[in-house]
Amino acid sequence: MKQLEGFFLFLICPLLTDLGAEIKISSEPVKGTYPWADLRHHVPGGFQNIWGPYTEPSQWRALRWALGRLGRESPEPNIPFQVVDAASLKKPYRKYRATWLGHATVLLQSQGKIILTDPIFGQRASPVGFAGPERRVPVPLEPQNLPGLDVVVLSHNHFDHTNLSSLLELQRLYHPSFLVPLGMADLLRKAGLERVVELDWWQYVDLHGHRFSATPVQHFSARSLTDRNETLWTGWYIAAEKGGSFYFGGDTGYGPFFRETAERLGKPDLAILPIGAYEPRWFMKIVHVDPAEAYQAFLDLGARRMLPIHWGTYNLAGEPLDRPIQALREVSAGKPGILDLPVGGIAEE
């Protein structure tokens, strides 16, 4: 009996320790898994969403919709934009500084460290330079003008979120760590990227005084017609050992995971949430929140502030480029907490 008790303690004690573990201060990644992690989203050969009902539109219907958009000239709205003053990013801040660089790229400064989400600095969100969605606003801050870079987090492998040329340039300049969802490390390493760490949902890495937790979201992955859902997609909850906490939603549909994340990891100071590329709803609803759903996610997370992203930069869907922020303003109805920033805008706390 004593041997059985000892074996039980050997198994359970690390789990209990992880649950309340302090963030480890290290320049090298220290990886762990939360005790509530499970593998329901794993399937042979890849991954799946686990919140039903989840019915994807047929690929042929989606292809017909995409082909129908070719050659259509969409009006060019006046997207709010400002150039980032690189010198301003070197000034002191109290808790954190967040700079929106367009689309899903946000520069986070926290506890003296610099974190970048889904960086894309190219003119097209595409595997080729001559076709595909084109950037509609300039890059407000070029990679060489960043105040430094310690960690890059990627949400999934779509071309508008994993831009290999941007990542290679960032490695050349700063040699950061790259944190990616499960299955994506091979893509980055084959491209020549180093210091890559991949995580499953509810795994975490302690690095540079921050805990980076991979959290569930509802989306999909693909970089070709034959690799759908072979790699995982994720959100990120980033908590500083002494300072702020941040949620980065990447790309996602709406689901109960926002509330679950807050219940398990805490209410973030800042929720960075996508609001665009949501039309038509028959196609986008399951993988892209609309502004009303994004605002509800902000409430579910219990965040103090929300930074809306994933709008105004690349024309990826059916709604006008400026419609997402207009709709969010209508839904939020002037309630506090929404950071209504231009591309290149900066928020501090």
Over residues 212-228, the pLDDT tens digits come to 999 999 999 999 989 99
**In the predicted structure, residue 272 carries a pLDDT above the cut 80:** yes
State how many domains the chain has. 1
pLDDT band for position 345 (50/70/90)? very high
pLDDT score recorded for residue 166: 98
In a domain, 198, yes or no: yes
Q: Is residue 5 part of a domain?
A: no
Amino acid at 287: V
pLDDT at 243: 79
Residue with the larger pLDDT of the pair 300 and 4: 300
Amino acid at 177: S
Query: Would residue 68 count as lying in a domain?
Result: yes
pLDDT of residue 126 exceeding 90: no
The token pair at 48 is: 């799946």
Query: How many Cβ atoms from other residues are within 10 Å of residue 283's Cβ?
Result: 18
The boundaries of the domain holding residue 124 are: 29-348
The answer as to whether 146 is a domain residue is yes
Average pLDDT, the chain: 90
The answer to whether residue 143 is domain-embedded is yes
Distance of CA 131 to the CA centre of its chain: 25
Q: Is residue 341 in a domain?
A: yes
Domain assignment present for 267: yes
Flag whether 238 is in a domain: yes
CATH number at residue 145: 3.60.15.10
Q: Is the pLDDT of residue 77 over 90?
A: no
pLDDT at 21: 60
Q: Is the pLDDT of residue 330 over 80?
A: yes
With 50 as the cut, is the pLDDT of residue 86 above it? yes
Confidence of residue 127 (pLDDT cuts 50, 70, 90): confident
**Which whole number is the average pLDDT over 164-180?**
98
